Amino acid sequence: MSDKTKNDGFAPQEHLISILPSVLAGIFMLLATITTALVKYPLTMFQKGILIGYGVVGNLYLSFFYLLYISTSKNKLLYAWINAILVGISLGLLSIILPDEMWIQLSALMIVASISTSIVSERGPSYFIVLSSTLISSIANLEYLTQLHQRVIQFSLIIAALIVIETIQQLKYLSRQQINRLEIVNEFSRQIASSLDTEQVTSLLNAAIQNALEADTYYVGMVEGEEISLHLFYDEGEYFKDVHANMEGTLSGWVVRNRKGLFLPDLRRDVNLAGVKTVIIGKQKTSLSWMGVPMQGEFVNGIIAIACYRPNAFNRSDMELLSNMAQRAALALDNSLRHALVEEQAHVDSLTGVYNHGYFIKILRQQAETTQKSNQHLSLIMLDVDYFKQYNDNYGHLAGDEILTKLCETIRRHVKHSDAIGRWGGEEFAISLPDTSGVQAMQVANRIRETMSKVQLRNRKKEAIPAPTISQGIAEFPVEADEIFKLIDLADRRLYIAKERGRNQVEPDLSHWDQFEKQGKQPGGTSPHKNT
């Protein structure tokens, strides 16, 4: 927090604006009280001298009250108590000097003094001024304040002073809370403005929610098909991972589909939304307060929701704060996803959507380093479409492009998400298979080859085109090659052996890998591939 808001959330200029009316009122009322006593009532010279001195010192003190307060920046609370003691006792002593009939004016001075103190301090010093000055003046005017209506008026003035103090304190609390929330939102906005990482944005959002709102449960969800995937889910001190919620029939689904916030302060009452019911996720406890706001952007479609196990835990200000945070988070997530998309587009082949040559080598190098550390295997398939030039010459380049696209779609069907596919150049492709033996890689290669032989293709005239065949070469890291370029060179040489042998083949054949097993070099692998 900045220096200007260090004590109670208000800048010195803001204190001056708020306290100035009460200080001016105090000066005017003190002058009016002293003048009335001097003019209207018979006083001795001694009494007049004391009153004049009291008025001069009191008005000087009131005039410099604000400056005295801000000059004690490190000990404001101590000064507030010293001021309360001085003012309380001074007002009490003034009641001894003033005529008994002026006790109402004295009570008014007490109220103004407590207001001024309450504006710049907490309720303790303000209460002390009211109670101490009232006690002393009551003792001094005990004989005068004998009638019931006088006691009622005095008691009413005390209650009025306490009510004003409490009102000021509540307004200050709400103002401080609002300032704090604005600072949290501004700080959150500043931090995420330069972030292009989705996980970092989510982490900053997590911290901002914890600082700004008191919630037992909160989550950040993104729409994935007919479900909402909760990227961040916190429930009563515990974070949950891989949690999904249905879109249909849930509060979150309603918020996302309607693109508007939902504020439910008391879930003990029925949720008056057609087809929507409360669903428990996380810990098996029912939340009694809930609110959710949508996160909408070009690439973002999701929700931020918070809940509490007690009713009426949130108010409309909380809802507004959450909505502001959601808007800023959506913008930041949009930027990060847009950046990721641009980066991905720079890494992929525009026609087939697989990695380009340079990025595939980078991925292969990372996979090889991981393989060496984990003491596992990595297999590489180099793949080429047979007689591809003839397809371009006979059926046109559009037919050739369709063959390459169909080939990459087929490859994706037979590999895992952790595998990588790259366009090596022209009609040649590379497939890296981490944690996969040569035997398993050969099985994958044969599945790809068999699937491609059944692909149905047509030219622009809707005439059938014969399915292409493919040749493939396989090499295994690190047992056959302990460096990625040696691995690539070996798989590439085997690809051309398959072509020279007649094409539509995989090199080497099963006998090669059987020989590896007999020599103890091939453990057989642990990661079978399935259609996904």
Q: What angle do CA 380, 386, 387 make, to 5 degrees?
A: 150
3-state secondary structure 473-518: EEEEECCCCCCHHHHHHHHHHHHHHHHHCCCCCEECCHHHHHHHHH
236 is annotated as an active-site residue = no
C-alpha separations of 421 from 21, 349, 407, 416 in Å: 75, 10, 11, 10
Choosing from 143, 214, 427, 500, the catalytic residue is 427
- Give the residue from 417, 419, 438 showing the smallest Cα distance to 430: 419
Helices (H), 141-250: 148-193, 198-212
Contact residues for 256 (Cβ-Cβ < 8 A; gap 6+): 223, 228, 247, 294, 301, 302, 303
Instruction: Report the alpha-carbon distance of residue 454 to residue 40 in Å, rounded.
Output: 115
Question: Are 356 and 422 spatial neighbours (Cβ–Cβ below 8 Å)?
Answer: yes
Cβ atoms within 10 A of the Cβ of 408, count? 17
Question: Are 91 and 133 spatial neighbours (Cβ–Cβ below 8 Å)?
Answer: yes
Output b/e per residue, 121-130; b: 16+ Cβ within 10 A. bbbebbbbbb
Strand partners, 295: 302
Instruction: Report the alpha-carbon distance of residue 299 to residue 78 in Å, rounded.
Output: 55
> Which residues participate in catalysis according to the annotation?
427
